[in-house]
Every structure is written in structure tokens, then in C-alpha cells.
Amino acid sequence: MAGQWGPREQDWEATLREALGLDWEKVWGDLCRELGGSWVEGGSQFAPGMLQVRRGDTILSLDTYTVSADRDRTTFTRLRAPFVNHDRFHFRIYRPGGSCPVGDYFEAPDHKVGIRELDRAFVLQSNDVTRLRSLCHDEVVRAELAALPEVCLNLLDYNPWSRSGLPEGVEELRYEVPGVIRDLPTLHHLFRLFQATLERLEHMASEPDDRVMRAARMLMAPGGQARVGKAVIWDGDPPRRRAAEALGQGKDPRALPYLFQALNDADGGVRSLAVWSLGEIGDHRAIPQLVPLLGVEQQANPQPLVLSVAEALTKLGEERLAKAFRAALRQPLADWEPFQTQFREASLAGFGNALTRSVPEEARNAALALRELGGVEHRKSLQDAARYWQTRDPETHRILRDVLDTLQNQSKLPRPAAAPTPDPTPDYAQDLRQA
């Protein structure tokens, strides 16, 4: 079972014991308990499972895999730890004459790092000799490298042996050697090497000096999860949620463009915290970004997103607008004056978003609001929504078609040219690069 170490009862138990040795379960079981890890079952005798240990936001995953070539099969022990490699620092460290499964495609020069025992015992390759020397001068890294009988430690931009589906910008610190490591002290050396290497990489990373830019870069980092079988080997959203919250706690208006971007994030927690942070910062430039979300039907912890948006708008002085919008979705209003403001376009976008809500009555009322406010620019949204409701609710489909016909007729009338609306969102990517 995922999340614990227990006896296996699969048909391939005998094969596994023969391949790995009778002491394999005990050794890896002891390691799992001593490191506070968890075991995730695999799906075959050649991928029996994975031992995972969390260190902060990083997941260290130890497993075995088997490669077949002609009639030969070779089993490898592998430890990997995905992380966001902002600096694109890559290296490979291995003993001369040893086996390194990644092959010779890594085109980087060999280096000397000025430490005699390392320069003699290992091949040291990297695209950044300064960072390589800094890594190798770490006392724990040196000691653990020397303690391992076989070494193939790498951090590469592309690994043909990896099929883990990591998002762009996420790379793996990776160790893999032929055979199955059954020696408990060796396994402890390996995990200490990874812990020290990850800490050193974090220490060497070029971070913006400004706290807003640090949090912004974390918020813009890749999110989502990557899995291998049943195991999650990468989970990018928890640190991004903390970054979104930190930007709100800082109350710095420079965070606005990054939070605007996060309003459309795939992760509900990131979206909800971005909304909260915009309310905390209290800058009115956030209002036209938030109002369209009043029509979005999305669940985001700890409450539906629309409630978080209403709370943020209340903090920004637009409680009346938020209440009027929600009331208009329940029944047509007698007074549409709350929407005839500088936020009319944002309100129209919100009603456009509400056209495919799960409650037909709310979709109908959103269409009627577009008609009352003259939302001719949302005819495409009405067309798409009418097709959506055609088989789901004929009455809603009929009302949307009637509203669409009305707005089509209105669009033929001459209208004054609208003044261009300035984009309040600067180039956040350029800001991060400059930071």
C-alpha cells in the first residue's frame, strides 16, 4: 500500500527475492523507517516499488529499474530528486572506468576542482566550473562521494533514461549504478550525499535580492505534479501557494502583475491565494482583474473562488458591485446602475464567464444581463454557450439565442469608438530577468 512499508503478497515475490537477495526487504525497510519515508508499490517484478523521502519541498525517490538489451537484462539502483533549476547548472561526476548509464551525450569538458583526492578519483564534468568547484568544496559532499564504492551523480538538462514527464524547467539530481544496493550504510551515504548536494545547490542558486522578486519567481515556477506509476516524484504547487500568500503579506504593489497571472493558474490553491493577496495589497488596479472571476464557477480551497473574489472586492471598496453581480445571477435586476461604471467591461466579462455555469437559471440570467448592458462584444461567448445548452437545457438554449439575436441587431447600429484601455500588467518575465 502507498504510504507504508508492509509485507508483499504479489505473485512475483519469489522472483523479487531471487533477484534482489533475501535481505532486500529488511534493508530497504530499515532504511525507510530510519529516514521517515514511505513505500509506494510498483506494478511489475522489474519495477517492484519506490522508497520516497521528503526533504522540504523536494521528494527523494529510490527505486530500481531493469533495462533489456538482446537477451541481457541489467538492473540499476536509482535515486533522484527533481527541483527547479533556475541557473541551468549541469554536471556529471563518476569514477573512471565505472558505469554511468547516461552515456556520453553530455558534452561538457572535464575539470579539475583543486582537491587532490577528488581530481584523482573522479571524472568531473560541468558547464560551469565555478559552481562545480563550489559544490565539490562542500565537506559533506566530498566525504559522501568518497564513501560510495560506485558513483554516477549527475544533474543534466536532458536524460534519455528518464521518462518521468517533468515540466519544463524542472530537472533531476540523479544517481544510478548497476546492480541493487543492499548495504544499509551505503544507502545512508547516498541519501546524505543527496541532502548535502541539494543544500549546496540551493545555497549557490542566484536568487534576486528583493523579497518580492524572490516570491514572484517562485510563484511563476512550474507547477503541477509528475508521476512514475503510482508515485508522485514532483509536486510543484505547495511552494507556489506559499509564494502567492507571501506576496499578499508583503502588501507591495509590485506584486500585482505576478498575482494577475496567477488568477488563471491551473491550481485552485494558487488562484485562491492570489485573489486573497490582491485584496490584502489593496490596489484598485486589481478590481478589473477580479470582477470577471465573479462569473467563474470553480472550487478552490478553502471556499468557492467566487466567495474569495467577493471578499477581496469588499476590501477594495467594491462590495456593492460584488453583491449586485451575485444578485443578478439569481434574478434579473430592476436597477443595473452598479455596472454602469468604469468596471462595466469587467462586469460584462464576468457575465460572459457565467454563461456555462452548472445552474441553468444562472446562465439565463447572465445572458439577460449581457442584453441589458448591451454586451455586443460577447456575441461569440453567447454562440458558444447556446451550443453548450442546446442538448442540456432547451429553454436556456432558447433564451440565449433570443439574447444573441437582440445583440446582433444592436451591433448594426453605429456606436462611438471606445477609448483604448491601458494594460495594467507590465512584462513580469522581463522584471524577473532584470532581478
- C-alpha cell read off for 65: 529499474
Q: Are 348 and 375 in contact (CB under 8 A)?
A: yes
- Specify the range with the lowest mean pLDDT, choosing from 235-239, 242-246, 407-411: 407-411
Confidence of residue 100 (pLDDT cuts 50, 70, 90): confident
Question: What pTM does this model have?
Answer: 0.82
Confidence of residue 12 (pLDDT cuts 50, 70, 90): very low
Q: Choose between 284 and 7: higher pLDDT.
A: 284
pLDDT score of 394: 95
Q: What is the pLDDT of residues 169-213, one digit of tens each?
A: 899 999 999 989 999 999 999 999 999 999 999 988 877 778 999
pLDDT score of 91 more than 60: yes
- C-alpha cell read off for 353: 464567464
Q: Are 222 and 234 in contact (CB under 8 A)?
A: no
pLDDT score of 49: 83
pLDDT score of 208: 79
| Average confidence score pLDDT of the chain | 86
Of 284, 259, 254, 287, residue with least CA distance to 271: 259
Q: What is the pLDDT of residues 116-165, one digit of tens each?
A: 999 999 999 999 999 999 999 999 999 999 999 999 999 987 554 454 67
Q: Is the dihedral of CA 198, 200, 201, 203 positive or negative?
A: positive
CA distances from 228 to 80, 128, 167, 184, 234 (A): 12, 30, 13, 25, 10
Mean pLDDT, rounded, for 59-76 = 86
Q: Of 109-113, 176-180, 296-300, 315-319, which has the strongest mean pLDDT?
A: 315-319
**Quick one: the chain helix, strand, coil %, rounded to 5?**
50, 15, 35
pLDDT score of 256: 97
- Radius of gyration of the chain, Cα coordinates, nearest whole angstrom: 28
pLDDT score of 247 more than 80: yes
Confidence of residue 3 (pLDDT cuts 50, 70, 90): very low
pLDDT score of 102: 60
CA distance 357 to 366: 9
pLDDT score of 417 more than 60: no
pLDDT score of 191: 97
CA distance 234 to 182: 26
